[in-house]
Structure 1
C-alpha cells in the first residue's frame, strides 16, 4: 500500500517518477490566468492567518462546507477567522475523493511543511502553526509566490481599472512579473441596460471621453486597450456562456447602442448582435497588437437568486451549462481567420461533453504560422481535477498535439493554489509513463522528458513571449 501524498504521489511507475522529478518538477511557473488581487501583490500583503489567505474568496471550499451542512455564518458570515477555519477542518475529512482533499493537504505540505491530516483534532495546532509562519517575512504574498518558483502571474482586470498597482509593482524590478489581462465582459452586457449605462459613465471618467454614440464608445474602449498594452498587457480574456457570432451591420449596432443609452431594454436579438459586434471588435484589436485571447465557455452563473442577493456573484452558485458551442465558435473564428485577423487563441470548455468538440475545432484554424496557435486550454474550474484533466489531456492527445499545450494555470483567487501546477505536471508524467509501461510509447527519456518540459514551461514561455 502506498503512503498518502508522498514524493511519488500520482506517479504510478518508475518512468513517471523519473519524468516528474528530473524534467517537470524544477520548471518555473507561468500562471497566465488567475484572479489574484493586484493590490495585495504590489503591497506585499502579510496575512494574519490561514483563513485570510486560504478560505476567503474560495468558493470551491465554500460549496463543500455548505454541502456538509455548515451554516453561512462560518463561510461568508461574521464568524471569526478561527471559527471559520475550524468549520473547514470539520468538513475536510469528508471531502475524500473530491479534489479538495488532495489540494488541501498538498498546500499544507508545500507552503508550511505540515504533513498532518487536517481534522478537528489537528485543526487548532495547524491554525497556530500556519499563523506563526504567515507572520514571517518570507510568507508574505511575494514570498509565497517565490516559494512556488513563479515567474509570471497574469491578473484579470476590467478595462476601467487604473492598473496603478501593476505600475507600482513594475517599478520595483521584482524577481517575477505581474501583468494585467484585459477582461471586457462588462463592456458588452447589453442585457443589463442600467448596468451598461453605469459602466459607460465609469468609462467616460477613466478615458476622459464623452460617449454619446457607438463609435465614441468603441474609441473609448480602444483607448483602454492601448493603455493596457502600454502597461505590459498582452492577453485578453472573456468568460462567456458561448461565443456570439450573429450577423449585423454597422448601422444596426449604432441604433442598438442609441436605444441602450435611452435606458430602454433591448430585444434578445439585438443583445446578441451587440455582443457579437463587441466580441469581434475586441478580437481584431488583440490581433493588431499580437496579443493572446482567451475564451472561457460554458458556465451557467448565479443559479441561486436568493443567495446572489445575499452574497453577490462569484460566491459559489455557478455550475456547468449545456450551451451549444460548435457552430457559432466556428463562425466567429472563421470570420477572423478569413480577414487574417485571428490572434493566438486559447479555448476553455466547462462542459466535458465539449472536449472532443474543442479538440477538433482548434485544428480547423492551426495554419502552421505559429506552433500551437489555437489552443485547447487546460481543464478549467469544475474540471481541473484528476478525472477532468485526464479527459482533456486524452481528447487533445487523440485529436491534436498534446506536445504543443501551453500547460496549466491556477484560475484562482488564492495565493496557496499554485501546487495545482504540480498536480497537473504529476498527472502528465504519469500518463506518459503508463504509456511507456504499456509499450504504447518508446522508453526515450530525453524525447519524452523534453516534451514534459515544454508542456510544463517552455511552450508557455514561447507562446506568450513574456
Structure 2
C-alpha cells in the first residue's frame, strides 16, 4: 500500500483540522507549536505496577482490546460474546495465544463497526504512529497485524518505561483505592533509573456509599488502614482524612469522585452520627444513605481546603446497567450508561461554603452536554475554585469536544477549563488522545483567528497554555 493510501486511511497529517484551506493553514501552524510538547495526564487508569515491573506486555489483545470498555461495548452490541473478548467473571483473563488471537480476529472482522467513532480514530493513529502499520484492519490481515504487534512487544522499545519516555509523558496520575499501600508509587519515586513523575489519585467512592451491602466491612478495613477506630462517625472522618494525607505524602495531587448525582447538602453533626451508626448496623434507609453521601461530598470539599488535594467530580452514570453481564463478567465491560445531571442547585451548598476558598480547586466533568452552557460555564465563570472539566468518557470525541469549546468558551473562556484528560486504561492510546485534543483546539482557535476574534499570536499563546500552564495550575502540578 502506498504512503498516500496509508495517510488517507489511517493517519492523515491534517486529520481533525478545518476543511477550509485558509483556516487549515492557521490550524497547522497552531498545531505544530504544541504537537511535540510533553504530555500532562492528570487522570488515567494505567496500573503503576506496569512501570515498576517494566515487563513486556503479554499479547496484542490483552494490551489493546481486553481492558478497553469502549471497544467491548460496541462489539457486544453487535453480537460478540464478552467471554470471547477476554473477559471472565472477575475481569480480564490471562489469555493463551489461541484466545488472544480469537479476540483479535473478532475486533478486525468487525472493525467497520467503529467507523465515525473516536475508537477508530485512536486505533488508526496507534496502529500507524506507534507500530508503523500501513494497512487498514480487516479480517484478511488480522493474523498478520497480530504477529507484527506481538513481535514489537517483545522488543526493549516497547517496554512500558521506554514507551513512557517515547510518548513524552511528563506527569501521569493513576487512580487508586484508599486502602492501597501505594508501594508501586513509592518504588517509582525511589528508582533513580525512572525519571518520569507518576502520582496516585485518591478514589474513595465506595467508602462514601452506605447503601452498599459491603459498606460496614469497607469502613472497618478503612479504619485498619488508617490505624483509626471507625466505630464512630468521628473516627470514620478521621480515617478518611488520614488516608488522604497518606496519599498526599506519596505524591497525590487530587481526589476523584463519581456518584449518581451532585448533591452536596450538609447534615447537622448529630444527624450524620445517627445515620452513620444505622449504616454500620445495616439499618440505614435508602434516603438516609443518599443524604449521608451528599453530606460527605461537602465534607470532602472541607478536607480539600485543608490538605490541598484537587477535587474532581464526574457524576451522572448508571453503573453496570446490564445486570446479567455484571453477574457474568463483573464491572467495566461497557454497560455503564449516562443519566441527566442537575448542577446549579446541587452544588450550591458546597460552593456557598467553599466556592471561593483559595485552597480549593474543584473540577467538574460531565457526560450530560446539556449542562455545559446553561450551568457549568456560568459557574466556572464566577466561582474562584470551580473549573469546567473537558469532555471525557462517552464524549471525549471530536464532535463533543468541538461542542464543548463552543458552549463554554464564550462564558468562561479557556482559562477556567481543566486542560485535556485522557481517562484511559489503554496505555498506548495516551499520546493519540492528547494529540486529538491538540488538533481540535488548534482547529477551534484557527476559526477564532479567521473570524478576527483573536490574533494568531493570541491563539498560539492559548494553544500553548491549554497543554502546559492550564493543567499544571488546575491540578497543582
- Aligned to 2:61, which of 51, 60, 68? 51
Using the TM superposition, give the Cα deviation of residue 342 of structure 1 relative to its aligned residue in structure 2, in angstroms.
6.2
Give runs of aligned pairs for residues 302-381 of structure 1, distance below 5 A.
Answer: 302-337=320-355, 340=357, 343-356=360-373, 357-366=375-384, 373-381=385-393
Query: 3-state SS of the aligned residue for 2:210?
Result: coil
Name the structure 1 match of 2:21.
none
1:205 aligns with 2:224: yes
Q: Distance in 2 between matches of 1:268 and 1:106?
A: 46
Aligned residues of 1:35 and 1:412 also touching (Cα < 8 A)? yes
Aligned residues of 1:336 and 1:342 also touching (Cα < 8 A)? no
- Aligned to 2:407, which of 375, 392, 395? 395
Q: Distance in 2 between matches of 1:420 and 1:431?
A: 17
Aligned residues of 1:283 and 1:342 also touching (Cα < 8 A)? no
Using the TM superposition, give the Cα deviation of residue 401 of structure 1 relative to its aligned residue in structure 2, in angstroms.
0.9
Q: Distance in 1 between matches of 2:266 and 2:307?
A: 25
Q: Distance in 1 between matches of 2:424 and 2:174?
A: 10
Q: Distance in 1 between matches of 2:476 and 2:232?
A: 37
Aligned residues of 2:26 and 2:446 also touching (Cα < 8 A)? yes
Using the TM superposition, give the Cα deviation of residue 16 of structure 1 relative to its aligned residue in structure 2, in angstroms.
0.6
Q: Distance in 2 between matches of 1:341 and 1:185?
A: 25
1:122 aligns with 2:141: yes
Decide which moves more: 69-78 or 154-163: 69-78
Decide which moves more: 350-359 or 329-338: 329-338
Name the structure 2 match of 1:369.
none
Name the structure 2 match of 1:287.
305
Query: 3-state SS of the aligned residue for 1:364?
Result: coil
- Aligned to 1:109, which of 121, 128, 132? 128
Name the structure 1 match of 2:245.
226
Q: CA-atom RMSD, angstroms? A: 1.8
Q: Distance in 1 between matches of 2:345 and 2:331?
A: 29
1:217 aligns with 2:236: yes
Query: 3-state SS of the aligned residue for 2:462?
Result: helix
**TM-score, length-normalised on structure 1?**
0.93
Structure 1 portions without partners, runs of 5+? 367-372
> Runs in 1 of length 4+ with deviation above 4 angstroms?
none
Name the structure 1 match of 2:8.
3
Query: 3-state SS of the aligned residue for 1:406?
Result: coil
Aligned residues of 2:262 and 2:342 also touching (Cα < 8 A)? no
Using the TM superposition, give the Cα deviation of residue 299 of structure 1 relative to its aligned residue in structure 2, in angstroms.
1.2
Name the structure 2 match of 1:180.
200
Name the structure 1 match of 2:440.
427
Using the TM superposition, give the Cα deviation of residue 327 of structure 1 relative to its aligned residue in structure 2, in angstroms.
0.7
Using the TM superposition, give the Cα deviation of residue 253 of structure 1 relative to its aligned residue in structure 2, in angstroms.
0.8
Decide which moves more: 67-76 or 410-419: 67-76
Cα pair distance change 1:247/1:71, threshold 3 Å: closer
Name the structure 1 match of 2:289.
271
Q: Distance in 2 between matches of 1:427 and 1:7?
A: 13
Using the TM superposition, give the Cα deviation of residue 445 of structure 1 relative to its aligned residue in structure 2, in angstroms.
3.0
Aligned residues of 2:44 and 2:174 also touching (Cα < 8 A)? yes
Name the structure 2 match of 1:154.
173
Q: Distance in 2 between matches of 1:293 and 1:204?
A: 22
Give runs of aligned pairs for residues 12-51 of structure 1, distance below 5 A.
Answer: 12=18, 13-21=24-32, 23-51=33-61
Aligned residues of 2:306 and 2:359 also touching (Cα < 8 A)? no
Q: Distance in 1 between matches of 2:390 and 2:364?
A: 9
Name the structure 1 match of 2:215.
196
Decide which moves more: 44-53 or 249-258: 44-53
**TM-score, length-normalised on structure 2?**
0.91
Q: Distance in 1 between matches of 2:246 and 2:82?
A: 41
Aligned residues of 2:262 and 2:341 also touching (Cα < 8 A)? no
Q: Distance in 2 between matches of 1:216 and 1:403?
A: 39
Aligned residues of 2:355 and 2:386 also touching (Cα < 8 A)? no
Q: Distance in 1 between matches of 2:372 and 2:114?
A: 26
Cα pair distance change 1:129/1:376, threshold 3 Å: same
Using the TM superposition, give the Cα deviation of residue 24 of structure 1 relative to its aligned residue in structure 2, in angstroms.
1.3
Query: 3-state SS of the aligned residue for 2:37?
Result: coil
Cα distance per residue 1:334-388 (max 9 Å; x no partner): 22237x476111110111111112111222312xxxxxx4211110111000111
- Aligned to 2:457, which of 446, 450, 465? 446
Aligned residues of 1:378 and 1:407 also touching (Cα < 8 A)? yes
Q: Distance in 2 between matches of 1:352 and 1:64?
A: 21
Aligned residues of 1:183 and 1:238 also touching (Cα < 8 A)? yes
Q: Distance in 2 between matches of 1:375 and 1:355?
A: 12
